[in-house]
Amino acid sequence: MSLVQLDYQDTVAVLTLSRPDALNALGLEGDGAELMEVCATLNRNPLVRCVVLTGAGRAFSAGGDIKAMQARTGAFSGSGMAIRESYRTNIHGIVNGVYGLEMPVVAAVNGAAIGLGCDIACMADVRIASDQARFGATFLKLGLVPGDGGAWLLPRTIGMSRASELLFTADVIDAQTAEKWGLVSRVVAHDDLMAEAMALAGRIAAQPPQALRMAKMLLRHGQTASYATLMELSAAAQALSHQTADHMEGVSAVIDRRDARFTGQ
């Protein structure tokens, strides 16, 4: 069963988790390979300037497939070493695919984002939530730990104290609390979610695409690199940007008091 549906609206790609009957559960065999290939395809496409990530139906993603866990099938079958390898290839392929997208990603969180689903949302650069959305890092409730990188990502998203509270209690928080904690940028009416996300993606996609990807790269490296390393990366990226036609178009547009028309050149 395919995990994602990919659609295009001009220079914005819409990536939809598409198992609505299973609340977009993740972790079936092949999910990691599928996400890695879809995201690699997007990275190779110079026309794609922004990605909107959302879920079909009433959930963003309920996380790992609990029925498969109970039956010990698929990614959760075999010995401990076999399950470890399944996480490294399949589960990690899901998160690595989304995290490895070179262009900005806007998550339109339309409903429950639980466990692995919450961590997938955190892989996005910007998160907008429906007022019906809920978030939880509920691994301990199942006798598990975050096996998908959430222990690295969640503190970088909402800080160590909030991340610890969310993980150690296994609480599920509503959209308004998620906004207060900085887990999402804003909360909108459920029926307005995709329109708001697409409008934001459109404003992002209006920027020069090469500089846009390099700006995301700098923000990512800025989370872990030293100050000196980040400064060297910034100088190199800026030098490349100065040589682009889009840079000159941006300068001309400001001087001429008109909107820039960036081509990716």
DSSP for 216-259?
HHHHHHHTTS-HHHHHHHHHHHHHHHHTSHHHHHHHHHHHHTS-
pLDDT of 217 > 80? The answer is yes
Mean pLDDT of the chain: 94
The model carries a pTM of 0.93
pLDDT of 77 > 90? The answer is no
pLDDT, tens digit, 9 for 90 and up, residues 98-150:
999 999 999 999 999 999 999 999 999 999 999 999 999 999 999 999 999 99
What is the pLDDT confidence band of residue 168, given thresholds at 50, 70 and 90?
Answer: very high
Distance CA 64, CA 82 (A): 17
Averaged pLDDT, 169-193? 98
Pairing mode of beta strands 134-136, 172-174: antiparallel
